[in-house]
Structure 1
Amino acid sequence: MADPSSYRPKPGQIPDSPGVYRFRDEHGRVIYVGKAKSLRQRLSSYFQDLAGLHTRTRTMVTTAASVEWTVVSTEVEALQLEYTWIKEYDPRFNVKYRDDKSYPSLAVTMGEEFPRVQVMRGPKKKGVRYFGPYAHAWAIRETVDLMLRVFPVRTCSAGVFKRSAQIGRPCLLGYIGKCSAPCVGRVSAEEHRELAEEFCDFMAGRTGAYLRRLEQQMHEAAEEMEYEKAARLRDDIEALRRALEKNAVVLADATDADLIAVAEDELEAAVQIFHVRGGRVRGQRGWVTDKVEAVDTAGLVEHALQQLYGEERGDAVPKEVLVPALPEPVEPVAQWLGERRGSRVDLRIPQRGDKKDLMATVQRNAQQALVLHKTKRASDLTTRSRALEEIAEALELDSAPLRIECFDISHLQGQDVVASMVVFEDGLARKSEYRRFQIKSFEGQDDVRSMHEVIGRRFRRYLQEKQKAGEWSEENAVEEENGRTEEGRAVDVLAGDVRAGEARTEDGRPKRFAYPPQLVVVDGGQPQVAAARRALDELGIEDVAVCGLAKRLEEVWLPGEDDPVVLPRTSEGLYLLQRVRDEAHRFAIAYQRSKRTRTLRAGPLDEVPGLGETRKKALLRHFGSVKRLRAATVEQICETPGIGRKTAETIAAALAAAAPPAPAVNTATGEIMEEAGE
């Protein structure tokens, strides 16, 4: 790990002008490429205190061993040079989009003497015009089959074309009129290229003029009594219209536009692009990326634009590009797109109408793509096995933690404190084992005490269930010695023998809390980990490992350790721990929000006459809780927007008359009981 101060440029050495910079590691490999409006300001931001840097940025600057830059005259040149260097060096710390699936495209090899129409996948090639991508290859073949009647372009491979030329006979498509058979000289190379260009024009969206020309030719042939020609033109028009009907009209004004939407979380992002030509969706594609650098939505959009249009020219860049957030600054990016198109490109955020509605559809597709990507990654058995092995190795466990339980605390300004417990078995969520806890022994923002309480309660129940299961096993042994049958025990269960039902579930597994985890993960750092370990030690439980995952730096903390365990950014073990932690956080927040909703709907404010939902929300928003509202004076209540003095006096009187509800107490143990989870 390098010290950034060892290669920091001297003061005044960095120019205050636009440019592109490269960070290199100790082996001279480029690990990051960036651009800046002011190189001095941007590069200086990398050499501040490491504690103030984003975790991924900190990893980058400590991996690097040198930095260099190139000055350019404009921000547009910086954008182009940045794209060129990213393509050339493939830096590990730059955002790199990858297709979330292998999308096929309709390709026309215009670089060949006799252009060929075919289905293509993978990276784009020079001299080939692409249309799409499409969701399915069969959709492309159906479209091509309809259009070959009108545009009989070659579709055969090079081997078939050469063989037909040698024997002097075309293939089957040449006999049935779906190929102009340039292989045997029925059309010249120039005539065949003209057919291919018309095919490309039609696929690019210039359909109206061509259909009108065919209709005119049909009417002229009918007037001249060339009825066979007119009938063939009629069938051609019908075939083209059927091909068009496969793409629904989404924008009535026949707009040519690309719509880009981004769905992201702290770790990954998914991008979806809809290609609209002539008002119809002509293609769709999606990308996913790991967020290996600190980048916001606008930055993701800029990277997507670079990757989407970096090698495109002309009509491939539409007149309009609709995005969820504009790059900052937007003018160089718009100018760069205009240069690639050869005319002005409108880069903007849709505000209203059909385009905004279509953008919402693209956004939903992006969200689904991100969820699907995470599901596929999590469901891969090999990946999950590797993740569990990495966790066991990093935490020095005796075996892979096949059952992991994660705990998180949630509250609103110290009120309605709740906790969640989520369970992952074999690397997958087991939602039937999830539990929720209410923390009622105290109020306040003390996550450490809350964590100690919830861990203690969970494993206290584990010991109780374990003891019951042991007693039940001893009873079974006595019954077997006395000749008691399984049928007899089943009768006891049906008759209400709860002791048997408490020990095991229907599939024979220990019930509720009786199944211990190999690893407990807490959401937090050293204090939360110490509290969890202390709770386990107080109960005499030593065979359950404990670790904590701190959100800010994604560091793994172990009990009694002064330094965290830092897992590699690409580690599948870290990814699994993050998924477990995020799921516990989501589950805790959902429970806490549901409690707030119930408090709002069934609280003492409901008893105040004439107080509607809007003013109840305003009161809770102003004071934060009913407890604080109850302690407020009439003058303080009047400070709430929409609350007059008469209403404030009514509220104060109603709250004073309504005594706070007493918590439910377990008379056997003296514990305050929670609403769900135990």
Structure 2
Amino acid sequence: MADPSTYRPAAGTIPTDPGVYKFRDQHRRVIYVGKAKNLRQRLTSYFADLAGLHPRTRQMVTTAASVEWTVVGTEVEALQLEYNWIKEFDPRFNVRYRDDKTYPMLAVTLNEEYPRVFVYRGPRKPGVRYFGPYSHAWAIRETVDLLTRVFGVRTCSKGVFRRSEQMGRPCLLGYIDKCSAPCVGRVSAAEHREIVEDFCDFLAGRTDGLIRKLEREMGSAAEELDFERAARLRDDVSALRRAMEKQAVVLGTGTDADIIAIVGDELESSVKMFHVRDGRVRGERGWVVEVQENATLGDQVGTFLLQFYGAESEMSSGIPREVLVPALPDNAPELETWLTEQRGSHVSLRVPRRGDKRTLMTTVERNATEAMARHKLQRAGDLTSRSAALTELQEALGLDDAPLRIECIDISHVQGTDVVASLVVFEDGVSRKSDYRHYSIKEAAGDGHSDDVASIAEVTRRRFERHRDGAVTPPPAESPSGETAADDETTSRKPKKFAYPPNLFVVDGGAPQAHAAASVLDDLGVTDVAVVGLAKRLEEVWIPGDDEPVILPRNSEALFLLQRVRDEAHRFAITFHRSKRSKRMTASALDGIAGLGAGRRTALVTHFGSVANLKRATVEEIAEVKGIGPATAQAVRDALDEDTPHDPHPSTDTKETVS
């Protein structure tokens, strides 16, 4: 591991101009490429105190052995040079946007005498017109199969074309009228090119005029009693309409845009892109990449645009007239200028705020979210990954054995009220929902850091006192979502001994929270349970008694497992907190009504489903509830009419905080 001070350049030697810089390792390999408006300001930030650097940046500067830079005239030149160097050197510490698969396109070889239509994968070539990319090759083939009965374009290879030309017989497609058979002279080269141009016009979205033309020809054929030709034209129109249905119209005709959504967390992001050409979604792409440094959403957008459109710039048709993004990067004007130069005509870079484009952006974001969920599920379900995560945790935390059972607690409240806690259990890297528990905090908790620490101490004590004393707990009650959870104070059902203690006890928080849990275990004499705290901001792992946190690699399976455990505890705590708060609000709305006890309150809420529905009910409807007479129904109606909810901050959503 290199010491950055050994290769740090003197501050006065670094220019203040815009430029691009490279970090190299001891073998002279480029490991990172970056750009800056002010080279001196940017490079100086890499040589700050190592403890204050982001873990990934710290790893990069300690791996590097030298740094060099190149001054350029403008930021647009810096963008271009940065892309060229990233493409040339493929630095290991740069975020890499690589397709999760190769996407097929529909290619039309306009540079040939008899243009050919075929499915294609690979780099774009001059003289070939491309449509797509599409998600699946079979979708392209289905569309082409429908359209060849109308347009009769050539789809055969050069070898088949030459063989048919020599034999004087068309291939099978020529015999079944799915090719105009230019190989045997049924149509001339000029006539075939006209057919191909109509085919391209249809795929480009100019469909209405062609369909109207065919319908007019169909009407004329019927008037001339040429019913066979009219029937064939009718089938052609039907085929065109089916082909159009395969490409949903989402925006106005002529809209040419790429829509990009980025969804993720501090470690990974899911990037989804929809290609819209002439108002239709022609295809989509997806990536899951590691997030670099504390990059903002705008930073991620800028990095993606540079890498993706730099590769697409080999053919200007790959860059659309409009690029819609979730957030603008700081250098948006320079990026827009660079994209315009790459395309050869103006490119608009903006965030959609309303209308159809905003609606489609929401769809792309939903797809990105689902892709991220699939990625995490696949990673969590992989046995090899789970085994690696447990082994990495054992080594990083200095445990005697792999933590086969991990428990995590989390605290949830709204400004210190309705304080609850959750406890989730993972065994062999998989959640064990039958052992989940939730707690209502007994001690008063206000709004503050110290109260969160006290709540964690209380929950830890209650959980391990039960284990120490060999107490029993009831079997978990089933929640509406199908998950199992039980409040530790419930006394119904047959008792069942609580599961064995964890190997690793995780608290959501930093050093104070971890120390509070460890102190409780010391007081109880529990010595065989390791305690750590997982801080949200930098995903640091705090071990009680250590001055510095353990920094797990951002792409490690161990950190991914700890995140899943923490996020599950967060979700479970929020769910219980909302349920408890809802019950309290329900009770307060019906409290104090004469003749309405706890049983009748429950009957009313059960009958109508919620207090909101009850407030909309008439006196007669309320009186229909078993046990509620006309007089009580009228009292309920009067009380609800007088009840006016008070919101001290009507324009601000209530925020649930989890510690």
Q: Matched residues in 1 for 2:137 and 2:50: separation?
A: 50
Counterpart in the other structure of 1:59: 59
TM-score of the pair, normalised by structure 2: 0.77
Q: Matched residues in 2 for 1:596 and 1:94: separation?
A: 46
Deviates more, 1:353-362 or 1:557-566: 557-566
Q: Matched residues in 1 for 2:103 and 2:537: separation?
A: 36
Counterpart in the other structure of 1:375: 377
Query: Is the contact made by 1:254 and 1:280 (CA closer than 8 Å) also made in structure 2?
Result: no
Deviates more, 1:242-251 or 1:184-193: 184-193
Match of 1:530 among 515, 523, 544: 515
Shift of 1:288: 1.8
SS at match of 1:272: strand
SS at match of 2:149: coil
Equivalence map 1:1-20=2 (5 Å): 1-20=1-20
Q: Matched residues in 1 for 2:191 and 2:302: separation?
A: 42
Query: Is the contact made by 2:266 and 2:294 (CA closer than 8 Å) also made in structure 1?
Result: no
Query: Is the contact made by 1:314 and 1:341 (CA closer than 8 Å) also made in structure 2?
Result: yes
SS at match of 1:285: strand
Query: Is the contact made by 2:3 and 2:62 (CA closer than 8 Å) also made in structure 1?
Result: yes
Q: Matched residues in 2 for 1:549 and 1:395: separation?
A: 12
| Amino acid across the alignment from 2:425 | V
Shift in CA distance, 192/576, structure 1 to aligned 2, threshold 3 Å: farther
Match of 2:386 among 369, 373, 384: 384
Counterpart in the other structure of 1:578: 563
| Amino acid across the alignment from 1:242 | R
Query: Is the contact made by 2:97 and 2:308 (CA closer than 8 Å) also made in structure 1?
Result: no
1:406 aligns with 2:408: yes
Shift of 1:559: 4.1
1:613 aligns with 2:645: yes
Q: Matched residues in 2 for 1:535 and 1:183: separation?
A: 86
| Pairs aligned (count) | 587
Q: Where does the alignment leave 5 or more consecutive residues of structure 1 unmatched? A: 470-497, 504-510, 625-678
Counterpart in the other structure of 2:288: 288
Cα deviation 1:346-394 (Å, max 9, x = unaligned): 2222222222222222222222222222112212222222212222233
Counterpart in the other structure of 1:437: 439
Shift in CA distance, 112/299, structure 1 to aligned 2, threshold 3 Å: farther
Shift in CA distance, 169/324, structure 1 to aligned 2, threshold 3 Å: same
Query: Is the contact made by 1:420 and 1:584 (CA closer than 8 Å) also made in structure 2?
Result: yes
Shift of 1:458: 0.7
Query: Is the contact made by 1:164 and 1:183 (CA closer than 8 Å) also made in structure 2?
Result: yes
Query: Is the contact made by 1:211 and 1:237 (CA closer than 8 Å) also made in structure 2?
Result: yes
SS at match of 2:295: coil
Shift of 1:145: 0.5
Shift in CA distance, 77/202, structure 1 to aligned 2, threshold 3 Å: farther
Q: Matched residues in 1 for 2:3 and 2:338: separation?
A: 37
| Amino acid across the alignment from 1:374 | K
SS at match of 1:83: helix
SS at match of 1:404: strand
Query: Is the contact made by 1:16 and 1:39 (CA closer than 8 Å) also made in structure 2?
Result: yes
Q: Matched residues in 1 for 2:130 and 2:471: separation?
A: 65
1:542 aligns with 2:527: yes
Q: Matched residues in 1 for 2:430 and 2:124: separation?
A: 41
Shift in CA distance, 100/605, structure 1 to aligned 2, threshold 3 Å: farther
Match of 2:354 among 348, 352, 355: 352
Counterpart in the other structure of 2:603: none
Cα deviation 1:17-69 (Å, max 9, x = unaligned): 22222222222222222222232332233233334433333332232222222
Counterpart in the other structure of 1:419: 421
Query: Is the contact made by 2:18 and 2:38 (CA closer than 8 Å) also made in structure 1?
Result: yes
Cα deviation 1:91-112 (Å, max 9, x = unaligned): 2222222445665443446677
Shift in CA distance, 434/78, structure 1 to aligned 2, threshold 3 Å: same
Q: Matched residues in 2 for 1:576 and 1:332: separation?
A: 40
Query: Is the contact made by 1:463 and 1:514 (CA closer than 8 Å) also made in structure 2?
Result: no
Q: Matched residues in 1 for 2:651 and 2:244: separation?
A: 57
Q: Matched residues in 2 for 1:598 and 1:619: separation?
A: 24
Query: Is the contact made by 1:298 and 1:327 (CA closer than 8 Å) also made in structure 2?
Result: yes
Shift in CA distance, 37/560, structure 1 to aligned 2, threshold 3 Å: closer
User: What's the Cα RMSD here?
Assistant: 3.9
SS at match of 2:495: helix
Shift in CA distance, 397/219, structure 1 to aligned 2, threshold 3 Å: same
Counterpart in the other structure of 1:454: 459
Counterpart in the other structure of 1:501: 494
SS at match of 1:205: coil
Shift in CA distance, 217/74, structure 1 to aligned 2, threshold 3 Å: farther
Match of 1:565 among 550, 554, 559: 550
SS at match of 1:12: helix
Shift in CA distance, 16/593, structure 1 to aligned 2, threshold 3 Å: farther
Q: Matched residues in 1 for 2:383 and 2:502: separation?
A: 20
| Amino acid across the alignment from 1:428 | V
Shift in CA distance, 15/563, structure 1 to aligned 2, threshold 3 Å: closer
Query: Is the contact made by 1:386 and 1:573 (CA closer than 8 Å) also made in structure 2?
Result: yes
Q: Matched residues in 1 for 2:492 and 2:642: separation?
A: 52
Shift in CA distance, 277/468, structure 1 to aligned 2, threshold 3 Å: closer
| Amino acid across the alignment from 2:18 | P
Shift of 1:232: 4.7
Shift of 1:412: 4.7
Counterpart in the other structure of 1:659: none
Query: Is the contact made by 1:256 and 1:319 (CA closer than 8 Å) also made in structure 2?
Result: yes
Q: Matched residues in 2 for 1:165 and 1:237: separation?
A: 31
SS at match of 1:514: coil
Shift of 1:243: 0.7
Shift in CA distance, 253/397, structure 1 to aligned 2, threshold 3 Å: same
Q: Matched residues in 1 for 2:421 and 2:643: separation?
A: 32
Q: Matched residues in 1 for 2:428 and 2:162: separation?
A: 56
Q: Matched residues in 2 for 1:616 and 1:50: separation?
A: 45
Q: Matched residues in 2 for 1:452 and 1:292: separation?
A: 35
